[in-house]
Amino acid sequence: MTKVPGPIKTFSHTLPGQHLYHGVLFFGFSPPETLDAVRDFQVKSDDVFLVTYPKAGTTWMQEIVWLLLNDANFSLAASSPVYMRSPFLEFKDDTLQEVGLDIANALPSPRVIKTHLPKKLMPEQTFEKKPKVIVLFRNPKDVCCSYYNFYKSSSSFGDFQGDWPEFLEMFLEGHVDHGSWFDFTKSWWPMRDATNFRFVFYEAMKINLLEEIKQLAAFLGKTNLSPETLSKVAEHCSFESMKVNPMTNHEDVYSIDSSVSPLLRKGTVGDWKNYFTVQQNEEFDQRYKKEMADLIPTIPFKFSFDDDVNT
């Protein structure tokens, strides 16, 4: 049994190489020495960091931003998986030959770099060099459901045999890779007014992807891209397109069993309603209000399109 930060609770599931780093739980693919090296990573002022909690639409945003920064070079995008064009900074997989720090260091500028880290564990130069930072938020109920399916399909998290109620409790207590969603979210929200930051909501992208892409292009200074080009980027980056695109669907990744659950599974808003019981939903809402009570202003998450439920 494993103890985790916060309330004293134990869980049967253990991540491969599980360890705590500055109070945050990580799997073995983000080992302590890599997390140490991330702190010393040499940031460039023209870098673009994509900051997300796992399963918040990361791959979607990676493809969009890479295409915008590379003048919608679809042919180049078709020649290399997105995880090699936009490295996962704190990730190290020797089998896959995917070492985020090495890939990032070898990339030409401007670099698009993905991370799931809370603010306190970011490279120290992030706040000195002031690169552009895009923070993508998704409502936590859908994040939790998506993460549950990912846990079941990916060997990176071990042979998870738990059920939905167990995983929900693990998620609430931060006993998942990259730790507490609450801590991650609260660490980044205060940066929303910084001029080099842009906060984007997954649900807004689902409502009007083209408009969000236009705003991202403006934030990135890509005023040379025509409306027609931006429309092509939106079409290329639709969920349906990315799900069948071998450069974005991760079906080549040995650790993901797509027959259990593909990386790009549904891409919907409100799927949590298919998982949460009434009691679980009430308990989640109570925990959310307690954890997020001090945030001013509150984060305008949209939990559903059906009944316009917002928090």
* Helix (H/G/I), strand (E/B), else coil: 24: strand
Q: How far is CA 19 from CA 33, 96, 106, 121, in A?
A: 12, 21, 28, 15
> What pLDDT band is residue 248 in, cutting at 50, 70 and 90?
low
Mean pLDDT of 159-169: 94
> What pLDDT band is residue 58 in, cutting at 50, 70 and 90?
very high
The pLDDT tens digits for 70-123 are 999 999 999 989 989 999 999 999 887 789 999 999 999 999 999 999 999 999
Query: Looking at the predicted structure, is the pLDDT value of residue 178 above 60?
Result: yes
Report the half-sphere exposure of 22 (CA within 13 A, side-chain side). 15
Q: Options 3.30.70.1290, 3.40.50.300, 3.40.50.2300, 1.10.3720.10; which CATH number does 2-291 get? A: 3.40.50.300
Q: Which residues are catalytic?
A: 116
What local confidence, expressed as pLDDT, does residue 75 receive? 92
What local confidence, expressed as pLDDT, does residue 138 receive? 96
Domain boundaries, the chain: 2-291
The pLDDT tens digits for 210-234 are 999 999 999 999 999 999 999 999 9
Strand partners, 98: 93
Mean pLDDT of 284-288: 97
What local confidence, expressed as pLDDT, does residue 263 receive? 47
140 CB-near residues (< 8 Å, 6+ apart): 181, 185, 284, 288, 301
Query: Looking at the predicted structure, is the pLDDT value of residue 247 above 70?
Result: no
Whether the CB-CB separation of 304 and 269 falls below 8 Å is answered with: yes
Omega of the bond leading into 110 within 30 degrees of 0 (cis): yes
> CA–CA separation, 63 vs 77, rounded Å?
8
Work out the percent of the chain whose per-residue pLDDT is above 90: 77
Residue ranges of alpha helices (H) inside the chain are 32-39, 58-69, 74-77, 82-85, 100-106, 126-129, 140-153, 164-173, 181-188, 202-207, 209-219, 227-236, 239-244, 278-291
Which tokens go with 21? 């780093």
pTM of the model: 0.90
